[in-house]
Structure 1
Amino acid sequence: MSLFGSLALVLLAGGVPIFFVLGLTALAVVIMADLPLVLLAHRFYSGLNSFTLMAIPFFILAGLLMDAGGLSRRIVDFSMALIGWVTGSLLMVAIVAATALAAMSGSGSADTAAVSAVLQPELRKRGYNVDFAAALISVAGTLAQIIPPSLMLVLIGVINNQSIGALFLAGILPGLLVLPGLFFIAYRHAIKGGPQYRASEAFDLGRLGRTFVAATPAFGLAVIIMGGILGGIFTPTEASGVAVGYALFVGAFIYRELTWKRLHKAFVQASAFTAGILILVAAASTFNWLIANAGVPEQVEQWFATNITNVFAFLLIVNLLLMGLGMVMESLAIILLLSPILLPIALSYGLHPVHFSVVVVFNCAIGMVTPPLGGAVFVAATIAQRPFLSVVRHVFKPWVWMTIVLLIITFIPEITLILPRMAGYID
C-alpha cells in the first residue's frame, strides 16, 4: 500500500487534480490486486448513494438564487443602514453581510463573491483600500463553512454518520466568536486609514426600517432553514429543497428580479459546482474504502496510541497537520480523506465526535484564506480586479485571530457542544 501512497503523493506534487489522483490510485490498486474493474464503479455509486448528500446541490442552488433574485443585495442594504454610520462602515457592512449570508447559503466562495460584487463599486468610490477590503471580505466569507447551513458540516456528517442538526448547532458559537476580532481589525484599519473611512452619513432610523422591511423576505430563508430543522419539521436535506423553493418564490414574485436568464445561469452554475464536489466525493469514498481494507486507519491509530498519550498533544498535532494541508489542498479533499481516519482516533482519546468535526471544519475554513492556495482570497481578488499577492498580504491579522479562535474551541469543547446538548441532539 505504501507504493500506491507514494504514487498519490507524486501525482499531487505534479499538480494533478485531486479527483484524478484518487481515481488513478484506486485504479492502480484494483489492477495490481487483480480485482474486477466493476468494483470501482460500484464503490463510486455507493459513495454517492446518500439521501443527505442531496443537501449539497440544493444549498448551492439556493445560494446562487439568493444572488440572482436580489436577496443578497437587500441584506447588504440593510447592513448599510444598520452600521453604515460608523467609522469604516463599508468594512463593517462586509462582515455583517457575509455573516448573514453564511446563515443561508452554506458556501464560503458564494458568500465572498456576492458581498464583493455588491460592495466593490462603493469601496472604490469612497477611496477605501480595496486590497484590505477584499482580504477582509474573503475571511468573513469563510464563516459560511462554520455557521449553518454549512456544506462542509453536511459533508463531514455524511462521511462519518453524524447528526447534521447537531453539527449545525455546534458551528454557531465558533462562527460568531470570529466576529469581534474582525470588527476590531476593521475598526483599527479605518482609524489609521484616513478621512475617507469616516462616516459619510448619519444614522437614519427611517432608512433602517425601510431596508429591514425590504430584507425581511430574504431573512426568512434563514428562519425557515434553522427553524424547520430544529423544530423537527424537516430534515437538513428537506430544508435545502425548501430553501430553493423559497428563494425561487421570493426572487421571482416578491422582488421580481429573477429573470429566466438569471435562473438559467444559476442552474448551470449550481450544476457545475455540484458535479465538481460530488465527483470528488465519489473518488474519495473509493479511495477511503481501499485504504480501510489495507488497515491504514488502524496503523495510524496504533502510532498515535504508542507515541502520543496526551489528548492535548493529539489535538495540537491534528491542528498543525490540518493547517499545513490547508495551504496546499482543497477543504473538500481534506475532509473526505482525513476525517474518516482521524475521527476514530479522536474517539479513542475520549473526544466528542461533534466537537472534533467542528475543529476539522474550522481548520478547513482557515485553509481557504491561507496562501499559497487561499481559494476565498482568490475569489475576492478576482472580483476586485486586484492581484492575488496584493490582497493576500492583508490576510495575516484576520488569519491570526481565526487561529486564536480555533485554539479556543479546540481546548474548550463546551463552546461547540452546549447548543447541541441544550437542543437534545447529544447527551
Structure 2
Amino acid sequence: MELSVLLGVLVFLLIIGVPVAFSLLGATLVTFFMMDMPAIAVFQRMAGGMSIFSLMAIPFFVFAGELMHRSGIAERLVRVAEAAFGRSRGGLGQVDVGASMLFGAVSGSAIASVSAMGSTLMPMMRERGYDADYAVNVTSTSAVCGLLIPPSHNMIIYAAAAGVGVSIGELFVGGIVPGILTGATLMVAAWLVAVKRGYPKGEFPGWMAFLRAFIMALPGLFTAIIIVGGVLGGLFTATESSAVAVLYTVAVAALLYRSMGPRAFLDAAIQAVKTTAMVLLIIGSASGFGWMLALLEAPTQLANLITTVTDNPILILLIINLILLVLGTFMDMSPLIVITTPIFLPIVVGLGMDPVQFGVIMMLNLGIGLVTPPVGSVLFVGAAIGKVKVEETVKTIWPFYGALFVALMVVTYVPSVTMGLVNLMR
C-alpha cells in the first residue's frame, strides 16, 4: 500500500507539471506522513545525499564547461572537426557530431554541448541549405557523447550511488570507446539522412589548414588529458581534478586565447551556480526517495519480478534497458541514477557484469532519455536554439534514435567495448 502511494503521488505530481525535485520530495513526504514517521528524517536523507565528497566535482565540471562555452574554446573545436569531417556528403552533420565528441571530452555535459554546438553550428548549417530539424536532431543526439567521453559528472553521481568499490577513474576510461562508438553510429545516421535529402558536400581545406586548426584547439583539448591522466596517474582525485580543470580553463581562456573578460567569467559563474543548485537539489530529493524505496523493499520486489519473468541473462539485460529507457523519457538523469542504481546494480552483478560496464550502459541509456520527449531537456534546449518546434524534430529524429539504440545494444552485450581499456589499466 505504501509503495503504491509513493509511486502514485510521484506520477501524479509529474503529470500536473511539478518539477522533478519537488515531485520526488512531495511523494516521499506524503508516504512518510502515511507511515507516521517524522518528516525530519526525509531532510536528513536529503542532506546526506548531497554531502558526499565526490559530488563536489560537479560544480567545478559544470563551471569548466560554461567557461569553455563562453571563451571560444568550442568554436576552435568546431574548426578542427570541420577540417577533418567537412568534406563528406552533408559534411556539417559529421562536423556537428565530431565537434560534440571533442567538446564532450573537455566539458562532460550534454546541456553545455548542445548549447555550445547549437549556437555555433546551427546558424551555419541553415545558411548552407540544411533543414532546421536536421540541425537540431544531429546536435541534440550527438550531445549524448559528452555523457560517455570523460570527464562526465554523471559518472561521479553513479559512482557515489553505487557505493564503495566503483572507481571514477575506471568509469572515465570505460566510457572512451563507447563514446567513440556512439559518435560513429551517429555519423553514419547523419550521412544517410544527408544523402537521402541531397545535402551538399564540403571541401577538404588541406592538411595545413587542418594542422593549424588542431594546434589552435590543442590547449583546450589538453583539459581532458590533464583530468584523466591526473586521476589515473594518482596525481589528484576526481574531485580535485575538477578544480584543476577550472583553473586550467581560466588560464587558457584569459592568458593564452585572451577570449574571456570579466563579464563572460561572471556569466559562466552565475549559470554554473544555477545548474549546480538544480542538480544537487534533485540528487538530494532522489536520495530521500531512494531511501524510501529501499525501506519498502522495492528493489527486492522488482528484482524478484524480473527474475520471475525470465532467468535468461540476455532477456534480463534487455528488460532492464527497456525500463531505464521508459523512465528516462519522463524523469531527469541525475535522480534516475541515484534511484535505480541500487535497484539494478545487484541484479547485473549477479549476472557477472562489472559495475563499470553497467555504469556506462546507464549513461548511454539515460542519455537517450535526455533527447526523448516528454521531458527530454537536451532536445528541448536544441529545439529552442534552432527555433524549431519539438514536434517537428520528433517526426524526423528516428534514424538518430536507431543509431543510439544500436550503440546501446553493443555496449550492453559486448563487454570488451567498455572493459577492454579498463582491464588493460587494471
Give the TM-score normalised by the residue count of structure 2. 0.94
- Give the one of 126, 132, 144 matched to 1:130: 132
How many residues get paired?
422
Residues 146 and 172, structure 1, Cα contact 8 Å, conserved in 2: yes
Q: One-letter code of the match for 1:166?
A: E
The CA distance in 2 between the partners of 1:110 and 1:242, in whole Å, is 19
Per-residue CA shift, 1:196-252, capped at 9, x if unaligned?
A: 6122x4432222222122111111111111111122211111111111111111111
Residue 208 (structure 2) pairs with residue 181 (structure 1): no
- Give the one of 384, 387, 390 matched to 1:385: 387
Q: How far off is 1:261 after superposition?
A: 0.8
Residues 377 and 392, structure 1, Cα contact 8 Å, conserved in 2: no
Residues 369 and 395, structure 1, Cα contact 8 Å, conserved in 2: no
- Give the one of 352, 371, 376 matched to 1:369: 371
Q: How far off is 1:124 after superposition?
A: 2.0
The CA distance in 1 between the partners of 2:109 and 2:425, in whole Å, is 25
Q: One-letter code of the match for 1:245?
A: L
Tell me the equivalent position of 1:398.
400
- Give the one of 313, 322, 345 matched to 2:324: 322
Q: Which deviates further from its counterpart, 392-401 or 85-94?
A: 85-94
The CA distance in 1 between the partners of 2:6 and 2:94, in whole Å, is 49
State how 1:102-181 maps to structure 2 within 5 Å.
102-161=104-163, 162-181=166-185
Tell me the equivalent position of 1:312.
314
Q: How far off is 1:397 after superposition?
A: 0.3
How high is the sequence identity, in percent, across the aligned residues?
A: 35
Residues 135 and 386, structure 2, Cα contact 8 Å, conserved in 1: no
Residues 371 and 378, structure 2, Cα contact 8 Å, conserved in 1: yes
Q: Which deviates further from its counterpart, 53-62 or 372-381?
A: 372-381
Residues 83 and 204, structure 2, Cα contact 8 Å, conserved in 1: no
Taking structure 1 as reference, are residues 35 and 180 closer, same or farther at Cα in structure 2, changes over 3 Å only? closer
Q: Which deviates further from its counterpart, 297-306 or 325-334?
A: 297-306
Tell me the equivalent position of 2:261.
259
Residues 146 and 365, structure 1, Cα contact 8 Å, conserved in 2: no
Q: How far off is 1:151 after superposition?
A: 2.0
Residues 106 and 220, structure 2, Cα contact 8 Å, conserved in 1: no
- Give the one of 174, 190, 193 matched to 2:197: 193
Aligned to 1:271, the other structure's residue is in SS state helix
Q: How far off is 1:126 after superposition?
A: 1.3
Aligned to 1:393, the other structure's residue is in SS state helix
Q: How far off is 1:31 after superposition?
A: 2.8
Residue 29 (structure 2) pairs with residue 27 (structure 1): yes
Per-residue CA shift, 1:82-102, capped at 9, x if unaligned?
A: 233333221111111000011
Residues 109 and 376, structure 1, Cα contact 8 Å, conserved in 2: yes
Tell me the equivalent position of 2:99.
97
Tell me the equivalent position of 2:249.
247
Residues 150 and 224, structure 2, Cα contact 8 Å, conserved in 1: no
Per-residue CA shift, 1:376-402, capped at 9, x if unaligned?
A: 221111111122222232210011111
Q: One-letter code of the match for 2:179?
A: G
- Give the one of 287, 290, 302 matched to 1:288: 290
Tell me the equivalent position of 2:13.
11
